[in-house]
Structure 1
Amino acid sequence: MSVAGTIVLGAGGHSKVVVDTLIASSVVVVGLTDIDLARQGTLVLNIPVIGTDNEILKYATDGIVLALGIGSVRASTLREKVFQKYTSLGYSFPKIVHPSAILSSVVHIGEGVQIMAGCIVQAGVEIGDNSILNTGAQLDHDCIIGKNVHISPGANLSGGVVVEDGAHVGVGATIIQGVRVGARSTVGAGAVVVKDVPPDTIVFGVPAREVKSQVRSSL
C-alpha cells in the first residue's frame, strides 16, 4: 500500500515548527489531529486540523506515517506516551530533518527524531528515539542523546556529552565536554553545566547548581 502522507499529532505551537519542517522537506502533510475540540477545523500553516487522534485509526499502519506536533516541557511524559501508544499499534514516526540543518555523515538518528532549522550535529553523535533537537541547537562530536530528550533552541553541547532518557536541556544552555545529564533531569535556560547532573534533578545558573529534585508529570 502506498503511503498517503504524514499526519501530525497535536496542533499547538510546536506543531507549526514541525509542519514547516515537513513542508520544507517536500513531505505531503495530510492534516493534524488534536484532542482539543476547539481546534477542530482550524488551520496550521494552511494545513487543516482534521479531527481528534482517533482519526489516525482510520488509516492502515502502512497507509500513513506520523509526526509528533506535541512539544516537550520539563518533567512532562505526554510526548513519550503518545509515541509509545502509536508505535505499539504499528504506526511509524520517520525522522524529520530540516534542510538547513547540518549533519555529519556519521551520526545515528533514531525513530521519530526531529532536527529543526539551523541545527549542527557533528561526527559520532547518537540520538535516541523520539528526541527533539530544536532550532539552532549544536551537538559536537560523540554526544549521546537518549530517548525522549528535548534539546531546546540555541543549546550548545560540547564533545562527548551524554544526555540520558527523558531529560530536558533549556534554551541557550551550554554543557561542557564529557558531562553527563541524568535521566529525566532539567537544565534551565541559559545554564552553564560544568559537572554531571544526577537523575531527576533541576539545575539552573552559571555555573549550574542543583535547585531541587524533579517530579514528573503526565501532561
Structure 2
Amino acid sequence: MLKKNVLLVLGAGGHGKSVAEAALLSGKWKKVVFADDSWPQKTDIAGFPIVTNINSIPDILSDISAAIPAVGNNQLRQKWFQLLENLSIPIAKVVHPSAIISPNAEIGDGVTIMAGCVVGFDVKVGDGAIINMAASIDHDTHIGVFAHLSVGVKVVGNKKIDPLSFLPAGSVVTHSM
C-alpha cells in the first residue's frame, strides 16, 4: 500500500530542491524524499533525505504516494516520467502556492509550476513541462509535453510551444515555436 502524502522527487539538483520546497509549501505533501544516482554515497540534500537511486525506485514503492521527475534536461525528465508510468506510480504535479492558475487551465501530470507564475485562461500545459519562476503564459496557449520555460519567460496569447522545447530565461514569445 502506498504511504499517504509522501512525494518522491527524482533528481537531487537545483530544480529538484525547488520542486521539493514548492511541494511542501503547497500543503499537499507532508514529506518529500529524493531518488538520485548519488545515493548511497549521498543521503541528504538541503535537509531532505535521499532514499534510493533511480534504478532502485521499485524497492521503495510502499513508502511513497506519488513521484515527480524534477530535472531540467527535457529528455531525461521524459525518460524518468516513462519509468514512473511503467512502474504504475502516480505522477504528481507541483504548483507553488504563489502561482496564479486560471481555473480553466489544464495542467498535465508531472508538471511543475514555480513561484510567481501566471497561467491564463484556457492554457494547456502538457505532461512533464516545467514552468519556472515568474513565467507567464497568456490565454489559449498550448505548452507541449516536456517543454521547459525558464525563469521569467513570457508567452503571449494563442501560441503553441512544441514538445521538448527549451525557452531560455527572459524569453518573450510572440510567435508559435
TM-score (ref. length: structure 1): 0.74
Q: Give unpaired runs (5+ residues) of structure 2.
A: none
Q: What's 2:3 paired with?
A: 3
- What amino acid is the match of 1:34? D
- For 2:64 and 2:24, locate their aligned partners in 1 and report how far apart those are by CA, in whole Å: 19
Structure 1 contact 62–91 (Cα < 8 Å) conserved = no
Aligned residues: 175
- 1:52 equivalent to 2:53? Answer yes
Q: What's 1:134 paired with?
A: 132
Q: What's 1:16 paired with?
A: 17
Q: What's 1:97 paired with?
A: 95
Structure 1 contact 11–39 (Cα < 8 Å) conserved = no
Q: What's 1:168 paired with?
A: 166
- For 1:37 and 1:60, locate their aligned partners in 2 and report how far apart those are by CA, in whole Å: 17
Worse-matched range after superposition: 145-154 or 19-28: 19-28
Does the C-alpha gap of structure 1 residues 39 and 124 become closer, same or farther in structure 2, counting only changes over 3 Å?
Answer: farther
Q: What's 1:42 paired with?
A: 44
Larger relative contact order, structure 1 or 2 (CA cutoff 8 Å, min sep 6): 2
Q: What's 2:33 paired with?
A: 31
Per-residue CA deviation, residues 172-216 of structure 1 (Å, 9 max, x unaligned), is 00011xx221xxxxxxxxxxxxxxxxxxxxxxxxxxxxxxxxxxx
Q: What's 1:66 paired with?
A: 67
Return the offset for 1:97: 0.6
- For 2:63 and 2:143, locate their aligned partners in 1 and report how far apart those are by CA, in whole Å: 28
- For 2:111 and 2:98, locate their aligned partners in 1 and report how far apart those are by CA, in whole Å: 16
- What amino acid is the match of 2:34? L
Per-residue CA deviation, residues 42-90 of structure 1 (Å, 9 max, x unaligned), is 232x111122124421244795210222123xxx511111111111221
Return the offset for 1:2: 4.9
Q: Alignment identity in percent?
A: 33
SS at match of 1:153: coil
Q: What's 1:153 paired with?
A: 151
SS at match of 1:180: coil
TM-score (ref. length: structure 2): 0.91
Return the offset for 1:29: 2.7
Q: What's 1:216 paired with?
A: none
Rg larger for? 1
Does the C-alpha gap of structure 1 residues 60 and 12 become closer, same or farther in structure 2, counting only changes over 3 Å?
Answer: closer
- What amino acid is the match of 1:25? S
SS at match of 2:79: helix
Structure 1 contact 149–166 (Cα < 8 Å) conserved = yes
SS at match of 1:106: coil
Structure 1 contact 19–29 (Cα < 8 Å) conserved = no
